Amino acid sequence: MGYTKRIYARAAAELQARRKQAEEEAARHKAQVLEKCPQISEIESEMAKTGLAAVKAVGAGKDAVEIINTLAKYNLELQAKRKELLLQNGFPADYLQPHYTCDICADTGAADGKECACYQKLLRDLAYGELAEQTPLKLCSFDSFSLSHYANTSDANGVVPRKKMEEVFAFSKRYAETFSLDAPSLLFFGNTGLGKTHLSLAIGAAAIEKGYGVVYGSAQNLFSKLEKEHFGKTDTADTEEMLLDCDLLILDDLGTEFTTGFVTAAFYNIVNTRLLSGKPTVINTNLSFEELEKKYTNRVVSRILGCYEIRYFYGEDMRVKKRFE
C-alpha cells in the first residue's frame, strides 16, 4: 500500500519501541528470578548447551536424528524443571519470556514471510491519526453528514438541492464502500460550504480503514511545499513523491492557491502521472469549468474532464446556515 515514508518510519520506530519495552521487562524479570532462585541460571546454561549440541549433531550423518531427538527430550525436561522452580518461588510460568504486543510476529511486523496483521493495523492507525491531525476527520463521517441543511424546494433553475445532494451522498458512500486502486478519480465542484471536504474526508477515512495510504491537503499548502522544495527553500524533498505515490490523494480547495507557471506544470504532472499509474485522486474546487480552464489551461482541464467522475454540489453555504440555526 502507498503510505508515506513518514508513516513507514513511524511504524518501524513504534515496533522497535515495543520490542525494546518487552525485552527490557524480561531482563528485569530475569534479574528478580535469579536473585531469588539462582539455580535457574544453571538450567538455562544447560539448555543453551543442548541447543549448541543439536547444531553440531546435524553433521553426524545417520545418527543425527537420534541425537537431536535425545537432546530435544532433555531440553524439554530442563524447561519443565525451570517452570517448576518458577512456580515454587511465586513467579508465573512464563515470567522469563518477553511479552510482546503481538505474539504472532514478536513485534517485528512480519510473520511467515508476510506483513503481520498487527503491522497493517499499526500503519492504518498512524495514517488515520496523521490525517486527523490535519483535518476535523472525526467530524467528517458519512453518519455526520446531514442532508437536512439542503433546501427541499426548487431553486431558480428548478433544481431541488436536497434531492441532488442525496444522489451525491449515495454516490460518495458507494464509492467509499467499494474503494480500491481501480476506483476512478473524482472532481467535486460547487460553491463553498456545500460539503465537498466533508464527503472527501469520509471517503479518505474509509480508504484508510481498508488499508490504503491517503494523503490530504489543501492545494495552497501542497503546491507551496512543492514550490519550496523545487527551488531549494527547504531541506525536505519528498512532497512530490508522496503526492504521486500515495494510494489516494485528496486535493482540497483547488483554485485558492497563487497560480504560477510552476504550479500549473506541477498540477498537470500530478493529474497526468496519477491517471497513467491508475491511482485515484479526489479534487475539490469552488471554480467552474470555465474558471478552471482559464487558471490551469485547457490541457490540464481536458485531462480531468475526460477521465474524472464529476459531481456538482448544490445548495446554500451550510456553514452559514448552521451558524444562524
Per-residue confidence in pLDDT tens, the chain, 325 aa = 567 788 889 999 999 999 999 999 999 998 999 988 898 888 888 888 887 877 777 666 656 777 778 878 888 888 899 999 999 999 998 998 899 999 999 999 998 889 999 998 898 888 777 766 666 656 678 998 999 889 999 888 888 999 999 999 999 999 999 999 999 999 999 998 899 999 999 999 899 889 888 888 889 988 998 888 888 766 556 788 888 888 999 999 999 888 889 999 999 999 999 999 999 999 999 999 899 999 998 999 999 999 999 999 998 866 545 544 5
Q: Within 10 A of 87 (CB to CB), how many other CB atoms are there?
A: 12
Residues in a beta bridge with 311: 188
pTM exceeds 0.75: no
Q: What is the DSSP letter of 89?
A: T
Query: Which grid cell sits at 138?
Result: 472525526
pLDDT given for residue 60 in this prediction: 62
In the chain, the domains with their CATH numbers are 5-115 (no CATH), 135-323 (3.40.50.300)
Runs of H (alpha helix) within 37-160: 39-57, 64-88, 117-134
